[in-house]
Amino acid sequence: GIETSARYIIPGCQMREVSQISWTVPVAGVVSETRRAAAPFFGIPDVVHNTTFWQSDPTNLHPHLKGYSMVLVNLNLLERTSNPRTFLTDLARITNKGAIVVIASTYQ
């Protein structure tokens, strides 16, 4: 994962290190419940160990960022970045031939 904010990559790094994460969500008023996610995902045991997470500016992707087989891009990233064309050009450089690139929106 590549994200400008460390806040969003910390759960991914935690999942990679200990193969599980937990978080608390409000249910009603002061009542909350704990949710958990654990590896393996989708029946693929090594998926957690085949992931990387980096804090980076999407318009200045470092040369060591390459070899990705799958990239998930939040459409909000393209809307926020100062130069979406640079990011999309770099996206072609960092992905493997035949990689899957998903551009999704969080719009509800």
At 41, is the pLDDT very low, low, confident or very high (cuts 50, 70, 90)?
Answer: low
Helix, strand, coil percentages in the chain from 3-state DSSP, rounded to 5: 30, 35, 30
Burial of 85 (0-12, 13-18, 19+ CB in 10 A): exposed
- pTM for the model stands at 0.59
Reply yes or no on whether the pLDDT at 47 is more than 80.
no
pLDDT at 27: 92
Model confidence over 80-95: pLDDT tens digits?
Answer: 888 888 888 888 898 9
In this structure, the chain runs to a length of: 108
Instruction: Reduce the DSSP state of residue 80 to 3 states and report it.
Output: helix
**Over the chain, what is the mean pLDDT?**
81
Three-state DSSP class for residue 36: strand
- Average pLDDT, integer, range 70-87: 83
End-to-end Cα separation, the chain, in angstroms: 23
Q: What is the pLDDT of residue 65?
A: 83
Rg over alpha carbons for the chain, rounded to the nearest Å, is 16
Kindly indicate the confidence band of residue 4, based on its pLDDT and cuts at 50, 70 and 90.
confident
Q: Is there a contact between 78 and 103 (Cβ–Cβ < 8 Å)? A: yes
